[in-house]
Structure 1
């Protein structure tokens, strides 16, 4: 049975907030870039879970989050939400993961994102590219 999660695609000034996951064996996508969010606790709605996860991961309570679609992946069923990051990146406190960055659509489409903290590129979590393609504006290049 796949896990049920809620994920946030947050935009600020034409860029998208991404989380570089910890290099911990046993977690989904260790050392890869993914979206902020996480598992639903018993009795939580997807939106409640997402708001809780955002506070736990970046100390920010999501505002104006809108559900967009369900993404089916062999390991998870993701409730995908979109919204605007209403504060500058510097006001967030990264409490889970090894890095975070605001990333352009071009960088996201490349499948590999630069980590300012690690000083290297890391790939996307498996399945995230499919979510991004459904949400990113069309590539005009």
Structure 2
């Protein structure tokens, strides 16, 4: 394992034919700043990816993951992404956004186009390139 690589656990959360995504804070020092991405985060030392994804989703939106499944593994030179998927069983207004600029239910068309309007930002914002790739893979393998 490359010491420079960071391991993260992220969740694809779906409801009917839409996907819950987070508009990341527009802070230049964070990855994919101001872009739509998936909820999740760093795997803590001694933590497994499945424990990390449950913790991160709970911290970020107050959602207790129902039974979830592993989707894939996306390594690059900097980050190893452990990707899981689960249904979103609550309405958007029942979630509390504790991290990020906005959240929204994006359609497969939003994801294919690579952008979506954010009410909080007041403008169309792009998807993070890696998160778009993961979502396109998921949509292709799991037609809803």
The TM-score range, normalised by the shorter chain, is over 0.9
Deviations 1:31-75 (A, max 9, x none): 110000000000111011011101110011111110111012232
User: Is 2:14 aligned against 1:11?
Assistant: yes
Unaligned runs of 5+ residues in structure 2 are none
User: Is 2:61 aligned against 1:71?
Assistant: no
- Taking the aligned partners of 2:78 and 2:25, their CA distance within structure 1 comes to 18
- Taking the aligned partners of 1:66 and 1:128, their CA distance within structure 2 comes to 18
User: Is 2:52 aligned against 1:49?
Assistant: yes
- Would you say the 8 A contact 2:111–2:136 is kept in 1? no
TM-score, structure 1 normalization: 0.93
Give 4+ residue runs of structure 1 displaced > 4 Å after superposition.
Answer: none
- Would you say the 8 A contact 1:73–1:127 is kept in 2? no
- The SS at the match of 1:132 is helix
Specify which of 79, 83, 87 is matched with residue 84 of structure 1. Answer: 87
Taking only aligned residues, the RMSD between alpha carbons, in angstroms, comes to: 1.4
Which sits farther off after the overlay, 95-104 or 121-130?
A: 121-130
- Taking the aligned partners of 2:78 and 2:133, their CA distance within structure 1 comes to 14
Quote the offset at 1:137 in angstroms: 4.0
State the partner residue of 2:113.
110
Which sits farther off after the overlay, 125-134 or 30-39?
A: 125-134
Quote the offset at 1:97 in angstroms: 0.1
Quote the offset at 1:108 in angstroms: 0.7
State the partner residue of 2:5.
2
- Would you say the 8 A contact 1:7–1:80 is kept in 2? yes
Which sits farther off after the overlay, 70-79 or 16-25?
A: 70-79
- The SS at the match of 1:136 is helix
